[in-house]
Amino acid sequence: MIIVTRHQLLLLARRLVLSGGQQLLHVRFCCRQKKFLLVLGGMMEGAGMNPQHLVEPQLEQHLNEHKNLALTAKILHETYAPMR
């Protein structure tokens, strides 16, 4: 039996991983900085070769300014192929 405390449950709720094809987007909310943090990644052989690492700070700033994860995911999806 696994027991999860309320504090652990809140910590789990502050992290989100989105996957699309070979792309991974890790989203985390930092309470101390009061902002969302992004980490871009990939799967399999292309894990370290995500071209969007170049614009990761701008994407993070965009998410924190507009508070719209769906829009950020759409931007990532639409800009992946042209940046390859």
Residue 23 token pair: 């792309």
The verdict on residue 1 lying in a domain is no
Q: Which residue segment(s) compose the domain that 48 sits in?
A: 6-83
The verdict on residue 13 lying in a domain is yes
* SS3 state at 54: helix
For residue 38, the surrounding DSSP H or E stretch is: strand 35-42
Count of the separate structural domains present in the chain: 1
Q: Which residue has the tokens 């769906």?
A: 70
CA-closest candidate to residue 20, choices 62, 81, 64: 81
Phi first, then psi: what are they for 46, rounded to 5°? -95, 20
What is the pLDDT at residue 80?
A: 73
Question: Tens digits of per-residue pLDDT, 9-56?
Answer: 445 556 777 776 667 788 888 888 989 999 887 655 555 566 777 888
- pTM of the shown model: 0.70
* β-sheet bridge partners, residue 41: 24
